[in-house]
């Protein structure tokens, strides 16, 4: 439901500051496989602009091109920071479809945190779930 920031009622936050409730635009997109989580690309690859014709919104976080799922788009920089900054420790849930079945050692490595180029991700809760009904093949 759209909210007009000029007429929205302020609310009190835990810090005591006042702000407009739900001010700004927030879009939820089920990002398709093969699409970059950005609006421009010098190499002509598929990107969000092909699916979102709304000005001045940007993804709060990202999914790799070879991933699909929920992407939150907003013009609210504070909301983007609360979603993406490790400082806020917002838990996120990912379902991964993999080839084969990972063993206990592989799950333990993932749970300990993944080493990336410039940092190691936080430890995670990892578990195998049953294949959901209607899951499309990869």
Strands 26-31 and 69-74: antiparallel
> What backbone phi and psi angles, to 5 degrees, belong to 49?
-55, -25
Could you tell me the CA-to-CA distances from 42 to 38, 60, 81 in Å, in that order?
11, 21, 26
Please tell me which residue in 64, 66, 117, 118 is annotated as part of the active site: 64
56 tagged catalytic: no
Could you tell me the CA-to-CA distances from 35 to 38, 62, 92 in Å, in that order?
9, 11, 21
Active site residue ranges: 64
């Amino acid at each position: 439901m759209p909210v007009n920031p000029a007429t929205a009622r302020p609310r009190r936050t835990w810090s005591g500051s006042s702000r407009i409730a739900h001010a700004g635009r927030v879009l939820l997109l089920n990002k398709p496989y093969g699409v970059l989580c950005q609006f421009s690309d010098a190499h002509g690859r598929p990107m969000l602009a092909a699916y979102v014709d709304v000005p001045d919104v940007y993804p709060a976080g990202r999914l790799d091109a070879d991933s699909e799922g929920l992407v939150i788009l907003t013009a609210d920089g504070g909301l983007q920071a609360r979603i993406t900054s490790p400082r806020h420790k917002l838990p996120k849930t990912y379902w991964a479809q993999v080839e084969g079945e990972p063993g206990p050692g592989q799950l333990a490595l993932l749970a300990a945190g993944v080493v990336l180029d410039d940092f190691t991700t936080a430890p995670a809760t990892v578990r195998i779930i049953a294949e959901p009904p209607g899951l499309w093949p990869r």
